[in-house]
Structure 1
Amino acid sequence: MLSGGFLFLVGAGFNAFAQKVWMLIVGRMLLGFGIGCANQSAPIYVSEVAPYKYRGALNMMFQLAITIGIFVTNVLNYFFAKMKNGEGWHYSLGFAAVPAVMIVIGAIFLSDSLSSLIERGKDEKAKQELIKIRGTSDVEEEFKDLVEASQSSAAVNHSWATLLKRHYRPQFVMAIAIPFFQQLTGMNVITFYAPVLFRTIGFGSNASLMSSMITGGFNALATFVSIFTVDKVGRRKLFLEGSAQMFICQVHFLLIYIFNY
């Protein structure tokens, strides 16, 4: 997380003060590396330290932070686009340094995850951190589960080859297929290029940015629904409901395109 925050910070600096195209490219590359670090480390960290009954909701807080960030970015873009000197894009890109600083400062004060400490043989420190996080000394049963999970993991030989075995094949396939097909739905295109997309269907510049802001706002609101329901109704039901909703909307847009064409 520290590495991700630092890469975000440097990338935002390159983009904010860009005078040449290569500076924008380097900045985007650094931001991409930062996203890779943060997207992998933060959810895993939350899963390892969160109480069982709140794990789903707390993991959704990570997604909530992303959707709020997208919404705030859309709002800033809308106002910075009104700058008369045409320099607003520098501020839009440079403001990425604000959450980058928050990530770096926050990560400095975080302890290592419990599983990480146990894996490195620091059981006593892991137990003290667990007591600190839970706010109670009654953690023996949970700590025992963590140690046993670590031991079970260490006992697995050739873990990558194990994933390909028939017993784990369904989980392996779905772990790849779900994010793969989620990306193919085009949500990232809408998120990243919404102003351009709205402009191609006849919206003005300000209206396009406003539409992006509305899209980002509903994205954040939908995340709140998931936070309050994920641990009650389960991940599977939310996944099925979301998939059905996306399918209906995709078919709707396809029909509109076909009949208008």
Structure 2
Amino acid sequence: MKKEKKISSAFIYFFGSFGGILFGYDIGVMTGALPFLQTDWHLANAPTITGMITSAVMFGAIFGAAIAGQLSDKLGRRKIILISSLIFALGGILSGLAPNNGSIYLIIVRTILGTAVGAASALVPTYMSEMAPAKARGKLSGLNQTMIVSGMLISYIMDFLLKDLPENWAWRTMLAFAAVPALILFFGVLRLPESPRFLANLGKVDEAREVLGILRSTDQEADEELANIQVTSKEEADAAKNTSWSTLFSGKYRYLVIAGVGVAAFQQFQGANAIFYYIPLIVEKATGSAASNALMWPIIQGAILVIGSLVFLPLADRFNRRTLLTLGGIVMGSSFILPSLLKMMMPNMNNMIIVAFLCLYVAFYSFTWAPLTWVITGEMFPLQIRGRASGLASSFNWIGSWLVGLLFPIMTAAMSQEAVFAIFGIICLLGVMFVRLAVPETRGRSLEEIEEQGTNKHHSSKTVSAKSK
């Protein structure tokens, strides 16, 4: 007799997705809060402090993402997501209660909040994939990206709706409002069971079977999946025993690790987050109008991001990964470099042309580098090194995000915006060269075929090295 489902898959997807929305909200909310904070605390001429406050979340996320996997293996995916949501809520409230001119306080609080952001970015997709049936997992990378950018768009809309409050209340309310979706996530996840994979790894096979029985259509489907989980868990445990950090850069794995980590790093160093965090200040510098009057621009950028993430879903398996990354990188690089060239040739050019090119950048980023980075790193790493290599790629991605958030206001204080964007444009084109030279195509290829490419690359490099001696 078929068991009555106590929890619908729609409920699980909703709260799994809500984790992405919360993650996106905390990433995006400072975009609108910053102009009011700068005025309230007189930070307009303090680019280093501005960069440190903005990038503190990303700095904390480096550590949150790094430790989340190990903690979740000990305490469970669900428990760490619950703890992260409480840190989200507390961090949002404490940010809103920052003492006047309390820059150090706000940096520390946002760094702690960032650990929850990093943990959520790593664990929510993992939990969703372990709860979902196999046939639904292929869409999760794109779906998670859609939820994150939707969270960013929600934060931009909230910033716009709150902009008419007194400036000392506006930015505080924007930051504190993060507690609302955090608490919704907490109470939603309270109703969810633990991941069956985590339960099976602990030897709680009966509990894992009970969870799968609730989630899957038939008992046979649940039993088959449980058997697969047990086999895979044993393979991963055996792989972990024979893997160290030095394994990542030895022999046939070096090529794949450099490729995956390189793509993750380039995604951030190409400058996307400079736009997402600072677009009101960019518009202010371009037009001379107050940044607090430019809060419609983040909404436009957020809408472009959401549309692009939806465009990606049908494109994902129709075009090669390298083709989409190449197309995106070339257009993104051109969108940064062309305004600088036009400004050199036409000094009196309308500076809003720069903003128009930034919209073009965001459009192509949203359906190429933004989602494909995580699709590629999910497909590229063999089982033997997957855990460590994925963690390393995620860490480099967060390091890039932190550095861009920290350095952009410092760079624009020292040189023109056009020059700064031209530097990012060159990095975009270097990313295209990296993809063409160092990244294997993963679409439609098994892990074994991808690993064989690494083996062939290793043998080729050994042959060349031998010939050169």
Unpaired runs of 5+ residues, structure 2, are 1-80, 345-469
How far apart, CA to CA, are the structure 1 residues paired with 2:236 and 2:167? 58
How far apart, CA to CA, are the structure 2 residues paired with 1:209 and 1:193? 11
How far apart, CA to CA, are the structure 2 residues paired with 1:5 and 1:228? 32
Identity score, percent: 25
Structure 1 residues 226 and 110, CA, compared in 2 at 3 Å: closer, same or farther? Answer: farther
Whether 1:103 aligns to 2:188 is: no
- For residues 193-232 of structure 1, the aligned pairs below 5 Å read 193-202=278-287, 204=289, 205=291, 208-230=294-316, 232=317
Structure 1 residues 11 and 66, CA, compared in 2 at 3 Å: closer, same or farther? Answer: same
1:226–1:238 contact (8 Å) kept in structure 2: no
- For residues 156-167 of structure 1, the aligned pairs below 5 Å read 156=239, 157-160=241-244, 161-167=246-252
Equivalent residue, structure 2, for 1:189: 274
Structure 1 residues 260 and 224, CA, compared in 2 at 3 Å: closer, same or farther? Answer: same
Equivalent residue, structure 1, for 2:90: 10
- Give the partner amino acid of 2:243: S
Structure 1 residues 109 and 60, CA, compared in 2 at 3 Å: closer, same or farther? Answer: farther
1:52-108 alpha-carbon deviations (Å, 9 max, x no partner): 222132333322221111111111112222224542111111111112112222332
Equivalent residue, structure 2, for 1:136: 218
1:115-164 alpha-carbon deviations (Å, 9 max, x no partner): 21111111221122112112321223322211110111122223234433
- Give the partner amino acid of 1:169: R
Aligned residues: 258
Equivalent residue, structure 2, for 1:91: 173
TM-score when scaled to structure 1? 0.89
TM-score when scaled to structure 2? 0.51
Equivalent residue, structure 1, for 2:147: 65
Unpaired runs of 5+ residues, structure 1, are none
Structure 1 residues 224 and 147, CA, compared in 2 at 3 Å: closer, same or farther? Answer: same
How far apart, CA to CA, are the structure 2 residues paired with 1:102 and 1:61? 20
2:159–2:174 contact (8 Å) kept in structure 1: yes
1:15–1:24 contact (8 Å) kept in structure 2: yes
Aligned CA-pair RMSD: 2.1
- Give the partner amino acid of 2:295: L
Q: Which moved more, 1:15-24 or 1:91-100?
A: 15-24
Structure 1 residues 15 and 206, CA, compared in 2 at 3 Å: closer, same or farther? Answer: closer
How far apart, CA to CA, are the structure 2 residues paired with 1:203 and 1:72? 27
Local SS of the residue matching 1:201: helix
How far apart, CA to CA, are the structure 1 residues paired with 2:175 and 2:150? 16
Whether 1:179 aligns to 2:264 is: yes
How far apart, CA to CA, are the structure 2 residues paired with 1:104 and 1:225? 31
- For residues 24-39 of structure 1, the aligned pairs below 5 Å read 24-39=106-121
How far apart, CA to CA, are the structure 2 residues paired with 1:12 and 1:165? 43
How far residue 181 of structure 1 moved from its aligned partner, in angstroms, is 0.6
Local SS of the residue matching 2:294: helix
Whether 1:145 aligns to 2:145 is: no
Structure 1 residues 61 and 14, CA, compared in 2 at 3 Å: closer, same or farther? Answer: same
Structure 1 residues 28 and 145, CA, compared in 2 at 3 Å: closer, same or farther? Answer: same
How far apart, CA to CA, are the structure 1 residues paired with 2:327 and 2:167? 45
How far apart, CA to CA, are the structure 1 residues paired with 2:121 and 2:162? 28
How far apart, CA to CA, are the structure 1 residues paired with 2:277 and 2:91? 17
Local SS of the residue matching 1:138: helix
1:67–1:220 contact (8 Å) kept in structure 2: yes
Local SS of the residue matching 2:152: helix
